[in-house]
Structure 1
Amino acid sequence: MLIDLNNKVAIVTGAGRGIGRVIARTLAREGATVVILDFKQDLLDDAAVEWTEAGWPGTRVLCDVREAAQVTAAVNAIAEQFGRVDILVNNAGVAAGARVDKLPEAVWDANFDTNTKGLFLMCQAVAPIMQRQASGRIINAASFAAIIPSIGSAAYAASKSAVVQFTRVLAGELGPFNVTVNSYSPGMIPTQMNGYANLPDARQQRLLDTLTLRRWGDPQDVANLICFLASDLAAYITGASIDCSGGKFATQIPSVAYEG
C-alpha cells in the first residue's frame, strides 16, 4: 500500500522549524500542498527557500494561532486560494513550566493559550470547510505528558490532557461529515524547545532507561505517524490518542531488558 496525499491541501501550524517543519516536509514529499503557519517571519522565509528548491506546492502564512482574528483570516485566505482544506495538523505548542507553588500565572496562561486555545481556534476555523467537503483529517498534538506527567509540568500536562478530551468530542461532532479527528502523543524527541540532547550524560541515560526502544525519538517518527493519519489508510481511526513514545513505561522498568 502507498500513502497518497496528491491533491490534498494540508495546514501545519508552528511548522517553521522543529517537528512541525519535518511534518510539513513529509506531507509535501507525499504529494500534499502544504500551507505552513508560523508567527515568525524569518522561519517562514527559510521554509520558502526549501519549498522553492524542492519544487513543492504550497505557501507560507504569518499567523499567531492564539489570536482568533488572525486564525480566521488565515484559514479563509487558504480556502479561497486552494478551494479546500483536507488536513489540519495542530503542531504549534509551548512547554514552559515550574513546580506548582512557584508557577507564574503567565506561564500557565501561555501553555493553555497556545496548546489548547490555539488548537481550538484552528479547529473551529477549518471545521465548516471540512463539513462542506464531507471529508477531512484533523490531527492534534498532545504529549506523553497527557499520559504520565512529569514533576514541574502541571501547566503543560494539563493543557495537553485537555487536547485529548477536546479531540474526542470533536471527533464525535464531525463524524457525520466523514471528518476524522485524532491526537498523537510524542515522547522524548530532542528539540530546541526541550533541550534533551544537551542534558548531562547521566541525566540522558536516566531518561533513556524509561524507554522500551532505548533511543531518543526522531521528528521523522512523528511525521510518519501524521502522514498515516492524514491518509485514506486511516479512514476508520477517529477519536484516538496515539502514543508515539518508543514505549515509554510500557513496562515498569524497561531498562531491565537491556541489562543482559
Structure 2
Amino acid sequence: MQIDLSGKVAIVTGGGKGIGKEILFKLAREGVYSVAIDVSQPDLYDVADEFANEGLQGTQFICDIRDSERIAEVVDQVVKKYGRIDILINNAGVTGDGPVETLSEETWDFCLDVNLKGTFLMCKAVAPIMKTQKSGRIINTASFAAIIPTINGSAYGASKSGVRHFTRVLAGELGPWGITVNCYAAGMVPSTLNGFAELPEDQQNRLLDTLTIRKWGEKEDIANLICFLSSDAAGYITGTMIDISGGKYATQFPGNAYK
C-alpha cells in the first residue's frame, strides 16, 4: 500500500522543534504543503532554511495557540496562499508538574490553556474550512498520561484526558462532512521536554521495564502514524485514541520477559 499525500495542505502546531518538527518534515517529504506554527521565531527560521535546502514546500508562522485572534489570522493566510487546509496536527504542548496541594494556579492554567484550550482553538478555526471542503483530517496529541497518569502530573494528565474526550466529541460533530478526528498516546519518546535519554542508567532501565517493546520510541514512529492517519487509507478511523507506546503496561510487568 502506498500512501499518497502529495498536494495536500497541513498545519502542524509546535512545528519548530522536537516531534512536531519531525512530523512537519515527514509530511513535507511526502509532498504536503506543510505549515509550521510555533512560538519560537529562531526555530521557525531554522525550519525555513532547512526547507529551502531540501526544496520542500511550506510556510512558517509565529503564533501562540492560546491566542484566538492570531490563530484566525494565520488560518486565513494559509487558506489565501494554498486554497484549503486538509490536515491539522495539534502537536504543541507543555508540562506542568507538582503535587496538587502546592501546584500553582499559573502552572495549572498554563498547562490546560496550551494543551487543551489551544487544541480547541485550532480545531474551532479550521473546522469550518474542512466542512466547506467536505473533507479533512484532524490529529490531536494526547498522551499515555490520558490512560495512566503519573504522581505530580495532575495538570498534564487532566489536559491530555481532556484532549482525548474532546477528540471523540469533535469526531462526532464533524463526521457528516467526511472529516476524521483522532488522537494518539505516545509512550516514551526522548525529547527536550522529558529528558528520558539523559536520565541515569538505573532510572532509564526502570522506565524501559514498563514497555513490551523495550526501547525508547522514536520521533519517526509518531510521524509515520501521522502520515497514515492523514491519508485516505485511514478514512474509516475516527473518534479514537491510538496507543503508540511500545505496549506500555500491556501486561503488569512487561520487563520480566527480558530477564
Q: Structure 1 length as normaliser, TM-score?
A: 0.99
**In structure 1, C-alpha distance between the alignment counterparts of 2:159 and 2:6, rounded to whole Å:** 33
**Counterpart position of 2:111:** 111
Matches within 5 A, 1:113-132: 113-132=113-132
**Counterpart position of 2:149:** 149
**Counterpart position of 2:63:** 63
How far the C-alpha of 1:246 sits from its partner, in A, is 0.4
Per-residue CA deviation, residues 198-251 of structure 1 (Å, 9 max, x unaligned), is: 111111100000000000111111111011000011000000100010000000
The answer on 1:74 being equivalent to 2:90 is no
How far the C-alpha of 1:101 sits from its partner, in A, is 1.4
Residue 88 of structure 1 aligns to a residue whose secondary structure is strand
**Counterpart position of 1:199:** 199
Matches within 5 A, 1:225-240: 225-240=225-240
Amino acid in structure 2 at the alignment position of 1:53: N
**Counterpart position of 1:134:** 134
Taking only the aligned residue pairs, the percentage that are identical comes to: 57
**In structure 1, C-alpha distance between the alignment counterparts of 2:23 and 2:98, rounded to whole Å:** 29
**In structure 1, C-alpha distance between the alignment counterparts of 2:123 and 2:76, rounded to whole Å:** 13
Q: Following superposition, which runs of at least 4 residues in structure 1 exceed 3 angstroms of deviation? A: none
**In structure 2, C-alpha distance between the alignment counterparts of 1:105 and 1:136, rounded to whole Å:** 36
How far the C-alpha of 1:96 sits from its partner, in A, is 2.2
**Counterpart position of 2:52:** 52
**Counterpart position of 2:188:** 188
**In structure 2, C-alpha distance between the alignment counterparts of 1:65 and 1:76, rounded to whole Å:** 15
Amino acid in structure 1 at the alignment position of 2:6: N
**Contiguous gaps of at least 5 residues in structure 1:** none
**In structure 1, C-alpha distance between the alignment counterparts of 2:26 and 2:207, rounded to whole Å:** 28
Count of aligned pairs: 259
Residue 109 of structure 2 aligns to a residue whose secondary structure is helix
How far the C-alpha of 1:80 sits from its partner, in A, is 1.0
Matches within 5 A, 1:140-179: 140-179=140-179
Amino acid in structure 2 at the alignment position of 1:54: E
Amino acid in structure 1 at the alignment position of 2:126: V
Amino acid in structure 2 at the alignment position of 1:205: N
**In structure 1, C-alpha distance between the alignment counterparts of 2:41 and 2:85, rounded to whole Å:** 23
The answer on 1:216 being equivalent to 2:216 is yes
**Counterpart position of 1:34:** 34
**Contiguous gaps of at least 5 residues in structure 2:** none
**In structure 1, C-alpha distance between the alignment counterparts of 2:245 and 2:102, rounded to whole Å:** 29
The Cα RMSD (Å) is 0.6
Per-residue CA deviation, residues 163-195 of structure 1 (Å, 9 max, x unaligned), is: 000000000000000000000011111100111
**In structure 2, C-alpha distance between the alignment counterparts of 1:176 and 1:197, rounded to whole Å:** 43
Residue 183 of structure 1 aligns to a residue whose secondary structure is strand
Residue 101 of structure 1 aligns to a residue whose secondary structure is coil
Residue 3 of structure 1 aligns to a residue whose secondary structure is coil
